[in-house]
Homo-oligomer: A and B are copies of this chain.
Amino acid sequence: MKIIVDAMGGDNAPQCNVRGALHAVKEYGVEVVLVGRGEDILRCLKEDGIDTLPAGVEIAHADQVVEICDNPATAFKEKKDSSLTVGLNLLKNGGGDAFVSAGSTGALLSAATLLVKRVKGIRRAAMAPVVPTGKGGAVLIDCGATAECTPEYLLQFAFMGSYYAEHVMGRPEPRVGLLNIGAEPSKGTDLQREAYQLLKKAGDEGRINFAGNVEAREAVYGEVDVIVTDGYSGNIFLKTMEGTGGFLAKELKAMFKKSLVTKLGALCVKDGIAHFKKLLDSGEVGGTALVGISKPVIKAHGSSDDYAIKNAIRQAASFAASGIIEDITENIDHMRLERTGAAAE
């Protein structure tokens, strides 16, 4: 298994990207291709006391870097020699099994869609992070790749999310819920009402395990393994979770720091606090899968440290080994509406 890593993308690049990649090679036995400025990558290695390229590590030189100020839709074209473009072309041409980047989400999404392409028949790729829940996490699909969706997109997200939960997260017969503001099929907007019928049909045919509508609160509690939603609402869901977690963690910290007595209290629950932090740490999961692209692509968090990059590489390897892209390809006929149908596009 060979993972292509964008060495230049993210707030802590290239140092943390290079370091995380090396940890992944050691820990998971994968090979990595570090894409970026060769001299920068070698300098990073040197800073960690490594003078020769370790076994399993290659460098693919790319002279440019996609910056936050670049237009995400066109950056990969304008910067043909960027680590993003070079890395994705490598992926496309079989130079590796998956691609990991902590760079701009928008640029990665555009570039992956236009260079590597979507699976034939998939209308839109989706960002599918695993979010913490009361029952060990759920895949949220989509969380922002496509703000405005059709019922057909949501049908495709349901299938893709289900395959991901089953084959990457190891959940047999994953429960698929449609994010909504009430349990009844009549709830929500036209989008949810129409999607409900499509998902129900797929459930009745035994293609997915459709659990009906799921409210946001129950989704957080872990009622389903897959949370299907349009990118706008999915982003609101994800960011609200992150915000609330961050807000409460801050309150908790203040509570423990108040006095000598409360500091003693913190000592008493040290392990618990570590577990709590882990729950809230996006670096634990590693990154967000871009699902629907014809090859595995993982977006690592922009603020990824080496630990998060290492985890994103692990996740990319699981994604590549899971066979879900093959699943999608084989079942695409059940995920499409007739092009003549009103809701098709």
Q: Which residues of A contact B (CB under 8 A)?
A: 132-134, 144, 147-148, 179, 181, 187-190, 192, 215-221, 231-233, 235-248, 250-252, 254-256, 258, 261-262, 264-269, 272-273, 275-276, 279
A276 vs chain B, min Cβ distance (A): 6
Give min CB distance, A153 to chain B, whole Å.
13
With A147-B188, A240-B241, A244-B240 given, is the CB distance from A268 to B272 under 8 Å? no
CA distance A215 to B63 in the complex (A): 34
29 contacts between A and B (CB under 8 A): A133-B247, A147-B188, A181-B239, A188-B232, A189-B232, A192-B232, A217-B239, A217-B243, A219-B240, A220-B243, A220-B244, A233-B236, A236-B236, A236-B237, A237-B240, A240-B240, A240-B244, A248-B279, A251-B276, A252-B272, A254-B272, A255-B273, A255-B275, A255-B276, A256-B269, A256-B272, A258-B272, A264-B265, A268-B268
Given B144, B179, B242, B248, which contacts A236 in the complex, CB threshold below 8 Å? B179
Centre residue among A221, A247, A258 by max chain B CB count within 10 A: A247
Bound Cα distance A269, B238 (Å): 30
User: A268: which B residues are within 8 A, CB to CB?
Assistant: 261-262, 264-266, 268
A267-B269 contact in complex given A221-B243, A247-B221, C-beta closer than 8 Å:
no
Contact with A269, one of B144, B255, B276 (Cβ below 8 angstroms): B255
A216 — nearest CB in chain B belongs to which residue? B239
Q: How many angstroms from the CA of A238 to the CA of B215 in the assembled complex?
A: 11
Q: Chain B residues near A273 (CB, 8 Å)?
A: 255
| Chain B residues, Cβ within 8 Å of A236 | 179, 181, 216, 233, 236-237, 240
Q: Are A248 and B246 in contact (CB under 8 A)?
A: no
Q: Which of A144, A236, A261, A272 has the most CB of B within 10 A?
A: A236
Q: How far is the CA of A246 from the CA of B241 in the complex (A)?
A: 11
Do the beta carbons of A240 and B216 come within 8 Å of each other?
yes
Distance A287 CA – B91 CA, assembled complex (angstroms):
54
Contacts beyond the supplied A216-B235, A236-B240: 19 A-B pairs with Cβ under 8 Å: A132-B247, A147-B181, A147-B187, A148-B190, A179-B236, A217-B239, A217-B242, A220-B246, A240-B241, A240-B244, A244-B244, A245-B248, A248-B276, A251-B276, A251-B279, A252-B252, A255-B269, A258-B272, A262-B268
Residue in contact with A272 in the complex, picked from B218, B245, B255, CB distance below 8 Å = B255
CA distance A190 to B251 in the complex (A): 37
Q: Which residues of B contact A134 (CB under 8 A)?
A: 247, 250
- Cβ contacts under 8 Å, A261 to chain B: 268
- A57 to chain B minimum Cβ distance, whole angstroms, is 36
Bound complex: CA A134 to CA B233 (Å): 22
A231-B269 contact, Cβ under 8 Å, with A237-B236, A247-B221: no
> In the assembled complex, how far is the CB of residue A145 from the closest CB belonging to chain B, in whole angstroms?
11
Q: Which residues of B contact A148 (CB under 8 A)?
A: 189-190
Contacts of A219 in B (CB 8 A): 240, 243
Which partner residue on chain B sits nearest A238 by CB separation?
B216
A261 to B244, CA, bound (A): 28
Distance between Cα atoms of A128 and B248 in the complex (Å): 23
